[in-house]
Structure 1
């Protein structure tokens, strides 16, 4: 059982050079350090966490379907076996036994490869009467190495020697974009900028208090003046006797601060990277023109769904049919059914033309019709 405690400080004192070394090791096949950083960033960064969840859930919410490849009796039998199989699978997470589910959970875990580059499940096939089922257990990426070009299982995290080869038909390996590599680079520079911005606010966000008094230092009147200055100026305060003065050194910026623009630049890049859009709709009210742009993200969803379907077809469907019918080619396959984007785009085209002649729709009804998230008014 892998320890969840090892590596929990992956972001503590993380610096650009540390991240660079971890990414270089990841690209060379030593996945552990970078995988821990990816996991921590995906959980703790507010924007990346939301984008990663949306990308995964957009595909996990799609309806799964088994389709026969022809009208033959064999194809129908293959389709029935696959339907029974996918309706009965069990899914777990090795690093968190509380995470259990079925097909939707499996797709969610497979979609982690979009960020992590790889997702690995150990598969235990089992018979239930005349039907087949399986238990999928997700293994964390930091328990693998990839120095040979194929994932190999380590006995423990941090192991330097070569791992154990994964047996064919016992593992489901999903590969995808690995967006956490550029995302963690954006994260660390955004984090450094936010830290400097916070320091600036702490140092310059509250004025100091300077008190002057004729009282002699150490007298009751002097102590009363000191207490008053302390009460009014919790962070910066000073008390001087008459005739004493001190010049303030103003460290505050006279122009626009660079921090907001840097943070916004990173956030825009992350939105474009994960969802194919930017922050255009995050800063104000929703406009009709942005709705059509939002539907461009359907291309990403379609590609993700196709990747999951093909991975299951090649690694799971084929094995299930072989176990049920012998060494024969599958005549049915599992697919994730996508919404009809073309009909949605046709409707949007009509609505846009109507809006140009002054017949603007109700934004709330329009958002509900197309499942578009509107910003809440405060």
Structure 2
């Protein structure tokens, strides 16, 4: 397998797929050791770093974005939460069509997904949420005659830059101007938190300001606690004290702060003065740090309930959970689009040749009505004629088909089939109720009535119930036609206030008439026998 064709029909040499491309260089422009611009960061330095990144020098910005994720407990936690909410979502594959060839492509892609290569690297792909982009180098391998990724290797964003001509094309740091990336070797995932250049769309660009102000507050808070958490120590020495005696007193006063003990001559005096209103001053630092943390929660997660307890109870938590689900769905959609553009077509083309259509890989929860709403709606509509295939219901509820010989729990109650007479010959065994009905129908035929009683009652019940049934069906049909999607349809059906009073009344009258007719027929039969 010396050469292959990619999804555009271009010839690709196998050697370029297996050789690593973006590797570190000792003493070069791509070094493993990173700088730490967060040390002693000031507003002026931060503004310069952000300006340089927008102008085509993003290395310091990428280093700073990584710094705050390591140093800030809150920012690191909420970023990990957002990444993991997508990294653990199900991954599914849909064939391009129902043809055997397209199903074969989908099965190949699904088999690779089952090896958990993509699952293990989704978290690294989502590093683009904070920095605007992430770059994964594909390590291709030949396995059983098939070409597939063995690994997706995360490459630090510091080793890449942007083309100054358009500000968007990602280049590998190599030489002076940079080197273009081969399309078959890298996955460049761009995560847009706002419209504009990729380098300006990462969440870290906004979070950096909150982190810097919080670091100032935390530093001031630490100094306050150090200076005012303990009483102020004042040492007094006599007018004739020597410099040596002054040094002893100073060491004693300083030692009390750290060691809480000191030895001083009897002639020296140390006084401890308490600082008033310490609690109110401490609250100021805590409130400021908490407020900045809440703003970061809103920035990253879109809400604060999952990180801080807020008033409002269950209703507020439900609303915040919906916001989190919206963000999760959008993040998963961006990852899905990147994989379907940059990975899936080449995987299929390398093994089956260029295609007109390719299978669709999807990261995310199935877009279905919640199981509770679905079951409640089905339970309400089933008595009015709604049906569904049993296999669909089992798949929907995640219940596998029972195996042969398995012990079953639940199911429909068994019904006893009543055999009917054949060629005028009565069955070998009949129940008492079957004998009564046979005699009833026999007596009815002997009276030569113009129309069977059962048919008369059935026709009358059908006429009386038709109007009520049509009204119920119309309500259901209107709810389904007005719905915009499956979720909306389920909500509308669940909210229907169906009024089957007319239908119930018609059924009651029909059953009463049937009961009376049966009694009358039984009396006629007894009279005829006597």
TM norm structure 1: 0.74
Alignment partner of 1:164 is 2:172: no
8 Å contact kept, 1:281–1:290: no
The 5 Å alignment of 1:106-125 reads 106-125=121-140
How big is the shift at 1:10? 2.6
How big is the shift at 1:340? 6.4
How big is the shift at 1:283? 4.2
Counterpart position of 2:313: 287
Q: Alpha-carbon deviations, 1:176-202, whole Å to 9, x = none?
A: 031111111110011011111211222
8 Å contact kept, 2:230–2:274: no
How big is the shift at 1:251? 9.2
How big is the shift at 1:346? 5.6
Go from structure 1 to structure 2 and tell me whether the alpha carbon gap of 1:342 and 1:24 turns closer, same or farther (over 3 Å shift).
farther
Task: Give the 3-state SS of the residue equivalent to 1:308 in structure 2.
Answer: helix
Go from structure 1 to structure 2 and tell me whether the alpha carbon gap of 1:230 and 1:314 turns closer, same or farther (over 3 Å shift).
closer
Q: Alpha-carbon deviations, 1:10-68, whole Å to 9, x = none?
A: 32111121111111121222110000011111122100110111111111111211111
The 5 Å alignment of 1:186-225 reads 186-210=210-234
How big is the shift at 1:339? 5.9
Go from structure 1 to structure 2 and tell me whether the alpha carbon gap of 1:345 and 1:45 turns closer, same or farther (over 3 Å shift).
farther
The 5 Å alignment of 1:191-270 reads 191-210=215-234, 258-270=284-296
Counterpart position of 1:174: 189
Which one of the candidate residues 86, 97, 121 is aligned to 2:113? 86
Go from structure 1 to structure 2 and tell me whether the alpha carbon gap of 1:211 and 1:266 turns closer, same or farther (over 3 Å shift).
closer
Go from structure 1 to structure 2 and tell me whether the alpha carbon gap of 1:62 and 1:318 turns closer, same or farther (over 3 Å shift).
same
How big is the shift at 1:72? 1.7
Counterpart position of 1:98: none
Counterpart position of 2:384: none
Q: In structure 2, what is the Cα distance between the partners aligned to 1:228 and 1:57?
A: 53
Task: Give the 3-state SS of the residue equivalent to 2:370 in structure 1.
Answer: helix
The structure whose residues are more often helix, as a share, is 2
Alignment partner of 1:41 is 2:68: yes
Go from structure 1 to structure 2 and tell me whether the alpha carbon gap of 1:16 and 1:72 turns closer, same or farther (over 3 Å shift).
same
Alignment partner of 1:142 is 2:137: no
Task: Give the 3-state SS of the residue equivalent to 1:6 in structure 2.
Answer: coil
Go from structure 1 to structure 2 and tell me whether the alpha carbon gap of 1:75 and 1:188 turns closer, same or farther (over 3 Å shift).
same
Q: Alpha-carbon deviations, 1:250-295, whole Å to 9, x = none?
A: 7977955532232122111110111111258624799322330232
**What do you get for the CA RMSD once the two structures are aligned?**
3.9
From the CA coordinates, give the structure whose radius of gyration is larger: 2
Go from structure 1 to structure 2 and tell me whether the alpha carbon gap of 1:132 and 1:245 turns closer, same or farther (over 3 Å shift).
closer
Gaps in structure 1 of 5+ consecutive residues: 90-101, 348-378
Q: In structure 2, what is the Cα distance between the partners aligned to 1:133 and 1:301?
A: 28
Alignment partner of 1:67 is 2:94: yes
Gaps in structure 2 of 5+ consecutive residues: 1-23, 25-29, 194-201, 375-530
Q: Alpha-carbon deviations, 1:59-106, whole Å to 9, x = none?
A: 1111211111332212201101212333447xxxxxxxxxxxx22222
The structure whose residues are more often strand, as a share, is 1
The answer to which structure, 1 or 2, has the higher relative contact order (CA under 8 A, 6+ apart) is 1
8 Å contact kept, 1:204–1:251: no
Go from structure 1 to structure 2 and tell me whether the alpha carbon gap of 1:328 and 1:260 turns closer, same or farther (over 3 Å shift).
same
Alignment partner of 1:6 is 2:25: no
How big is the shift at 1:232? 5.8
Of residues 279-288 and 168-177 in structure 1, the stretch that sits farther from structure 2 once superposed is 279-288
Go from structure 1 to structure 2 and tell me whether the alpha carbon gap of 1:285 and 1:251 turns closer, same or farther (over 3 Å shift).
closer
Of residues 276-285 and 328-337 in structure 1, the stretch that sits farther from structure 2 once superposed is 276-285
Q: In structure 2, what is the Cα distance between the partners aligned to 1:28 and 1:13?
A: 23
Q: In structure 2, what is the Cα distance between the partners aligned to 1:251 and 1:144?
A: 55
8 Å contact kept, 1:119–1:173: yes
Task: Give the 3-state SS of the residue equivalent to 1:258 in structure 2.
Answer: helix
Counterpart position of 2:148: 133
